[in-house]
Homo-oligomer: A and B are copies of this chain.
Amino acid sequence: MSGTRSPSPAPRRPRRHDPGRRDRLIDAALTVIAERGVAGTTHREIARAADVPLGSMTYHFTSLDEVLAEAFTRHAESVARVFDERLSAARNRAEAVEAVITLVSDDLLGSRHDLVLTVELYAAAARNPALKAVTQAWMARSRRALERHFDAATAREVDALIEGLVLHSALSTDLMTSGQIRRAVHRYLR
């Protein structure tokens, strides 16, 4: 009983040819960040989430920081796109107000994953210039989208209001109902 002995040390994975693996790794990184926080995000953790060997991380990325930067950039891009779409679709001010309400109630508050990622990004941005740039570009883009329908000062204020509503709703004991969100937005933009 020794022909094909497979003790334990190295079964050697058969897999190969995995185009787009780099992309999947970035997505896996976002999952890990959302679940364990930036602090708990390691090469090994990401590799496990994507089911690839550790060595694959160092092949595709020069450092963990590079992974984080790409991951957060993707996250911001993804949320900003939804923001853009909702506001582009609005044909007039009334529809724009509705778009803002939907954005807060459904899109932003709807995904705990995205919510956590955003807060993690804010915290990380305080200490990482590259991530700070990502955050700022994202905010500028949101404001620009709002300026399709509102003057610059209002756009900035509404952007802040959205942020506050989302965060406070998410971190508080009781979620704000969409009715409460609607009331707050209308009150501000009445």
Is A164 engaged at the interface, CB distance under 8 Å to the other chain?
yes
Is A65 engaged at the interface, CB distance under 8 Å to the other chain?
no
Asked if B172 and A139 sit within 8 Å, CB to CB, the answer is yes
Contact pick for A119, options B119, B160, B165, B180, CB 8 Å:
B119
CB distance from A139 to the nearest CB of B (A): 5
Closest to A176 in B: B156
Count of chain A residues with a beta carbon within 8 Å of a chain B beta carbon = 41
Chain B residues lying within 8 Å of A116, measured Cβ to Cβ, are 123, 126
Contact pick for A161, options B139, B153, B161, CB 8 Å:
B161
Asked if B171 and A160 sit within 8 Å, CB to CB, the answer is no
Chain A 162-190, CB within 8 Å of chain B: the 1/0 string?
11110111011100100010011001100
